[in-house]
Amino acid sequence: MSAPSATPAPQARRLPRPGTPRLAGLALLATLACAAAIGPVLVGHDPATQSLLTARQGPTAAHLLGTDHLGRDMAARLLSGARLSLGLALLSVLTAALPGALLGVLAARSGGWTDRLLSAFADAVLALPGLLLVLMLAAISPGSWWALYIGISLTLWVEYFRYTRQRARVVFAAPAVQASRLLGLGPVSIVRRHLVPEIGPGLLSIAAFGAATAVTAVAALGFVSVGIRPPQAEWGVMMTELLPYWRESPWLILQPVGALVLTVLALHLSVGGMRRP
- Give the count of beta carbons closer than 10 Å to the beta carbon of residue 87: 15
230: alpha, beta or left? (left if phi > 0; alpha if psi -120 to 50): beta
Question: Residue 212 has what pLDDT?
Answer: 92
Q: What is the pTM of this model?
A: 0.82
| Burial bucket for residue 151 (CB in 10 Å: 0-12, 13-18, 19+) | buried
pLDDT in tens, the chain (277 residues): 444 444 444 444 444 455 788 888 889 999 999 998 887 778 888 888 898 888 898 888 888 899 999 999 999 999 999 999 999 899 999 999 999 999 999 998 888 899 999 999 998 888 877 777 777 777 777 777 788 888 888 888 999 999 999 998 888 888 887 787 777 777 777 777 888 888 888 899 999 999 999 999 888 888 877 778 888 888 999 999 999 999 888 999 999 999 999 999 999 998 865 544 5
CA distance 173 to 169: 6
CA distances from 239 to 150, 170, 210, 221 (A): 24, 46, 22, 11
Q: Please tell me the predicted confidence (pLDDT) of residue 22.
A: 85
The DSSP 8-state label assigned to residue 193 in this structure reads I
Expressed in angstroms, the distance from the first to the final Cα of the chain is 63
Helix (H, G, I), strand (E, B) or coil at 120: helix
> Please, what are the domains in the chain?
21-38+65-269 (1.10.3720.10)
What pLDDT is attached to residue 17?
53
pLDDT number for residue 8: 47
Residue 111 in 3-state DSSP? coil
Q: What does each C-alpha distance from 184 to 152, 187, 274 come to in angstroms?
A: 41, 10, 33
* pLDDT confidence of residue 263: 94
Task: List Cα–Cα distances, 266 to 21, 136, 207, in angstroms.
Answer: 9, 30, 13
Distance CA 15, CA 171 (A): 35
Which of 161, 149, 36, 157 is closest to 108 using CA atoms? 161
